Amino acid sequence: MSQFFSPREVATALGVSESSLKRWVDKGLIPAQKTGGGHRRLPLDSVLRYVRRERMVLAKPEAIGLPPGTGESSAIDHAAGIEFLTALREGDEDKSRRILLDAFLGGEPVSTICDRMVAPAFHRMGELWRCNEIEVYQERRACEVCLRVIHELRRATGSGSANAPLALGATLDGDPYTLAVSMGEVVLRDLGWRAVSLGNMLPFETLHRAIETDRPRLMWLSVTSIRDDDRFIASFNTLFDTASSWGCALVVGGQAFTTELRQRLRYTTHCDTFGHLAAFAETLHPSERRGAH
């Protein structure tokens, strides 16, 4: 997604004249850069943001390196879910990328894409794994493919303005799950936050430092796996104390948050879905409903 394209290539992809496209660039509608020789160069993520905002249909996505057919169907339905699961299972990155980009370009909020496309596909993969119907290598490859596409969406959502609130996210010590924490980042960026995932398996102590040093308005934590409940609860509650003393909302979600565990924890809010995260984030910092939703 760090690729750059010429006005001619982008015009071909969008099915418009090169002169119209140059006019849009010069009006600042599609942020672009200029080469030393004064030629306009358009980053793919700017183009995707524009297409999404204007609900344009891509005439020739191949011209900007996207899989053929990108943008043709944006439905998030049962059929698209099956197609996505099959693509992930087969390691078909082009198809996985096209399906998620379609939904994105069609104006679906990223939270909906994560909750209704990505999470169900991986839940199903977990069932297939339990029934020995999928190989471990297929599951791991699916994670890799999906992470790459999520990162692509991440770039297309932009990085938030300098005065947007900061959010930091992570998984905790011993928790190797990477997808949900990466999704939290894109969901918040889609709403205009400066969201930064710190990655997975972070020791509690370093999250205290991150809060004190970077002063995020929100920290999202995804928890799928806990080694030792009692130690986890004690460390977690101390982290909440630090977060609240610095005015940072602690937002938690993930499969390990059972009702019993939650009763012993302190946090600002627990979310079952990324839609909940988006709704909560909006209460702290209403977005300008960036993108097309």
**127 touching ligand B12, by CB under 6 A:** yes
Rounded CA gap, 254 and 231, in Å? 18
Of 30 and 223, nearer to ligand B12 (C-beta) is 223
Work out the end-to-end distance of the chain between its first and last CA atoms, rounded to an integer number of angstroms: 22
Q: Max alpha carbon distance in the chain (Å)?
A: 65
Among 6, 159, 268, 273, binds ligand B12 (CB under 6 A): 273
Q: What's the token pair of residue 88?
A: 């992930």
Of 48 and 125, nearer to ligand B12 (C-beta) is 125
Site string for ligand B12, 1-40 (x = CB under 6 A): ----------------------------------------
Q: How far is CA 134 from the centre of its chain?
A: 26
Q: Smallest gap, in angstroms, from Cβ of residue 160 to ligand B12?
A: 17
Residue 123, C-beta contacts closer than 8 angstroms, at least 6 positions apart: none
Residues found in the chain: 293
**281 touching ligand B12, by CB under 6 A:** no
Point out which span in 11-19, 65-73, 177-185, 191-199 binds ligand B12 (CB under 6 A): 177-185
Rounded CA gap, 235 and 126, in Å? 29
**100 touching ligand B12, by CB under 6 A:** no
**78 touching ligand B12, by CB under 6 A:** no
Of 31 and 275, nearer to ligand B12 (C-beta) is 275
DSSP annotation of 4 reads: E
Q: What's the token pair of residue 64?
A: 């900007």
Point out which span in 12-20, 50-58, 218-226, 281-289 binds ligand B12 (CB under 6 A): 218-226
Of 93 and 139, nearer to ligand B12 (C-beta) is 139
Burial class (CB in 10 A: 0-12, 13-18, 19+), 145: buried
Buried b (16+ CB within 10 A) or exposed e, 248-265: bbbbbbbebbeeeeeeeb
Contacting positions for ligand B12 (CB under 6 A): 114-115, 118-119, 122-123, 125-127, 129-130, 139, 143, 176-180, 184, 220, 222, 224-225, 251-255, 271, 273-274, 276-277
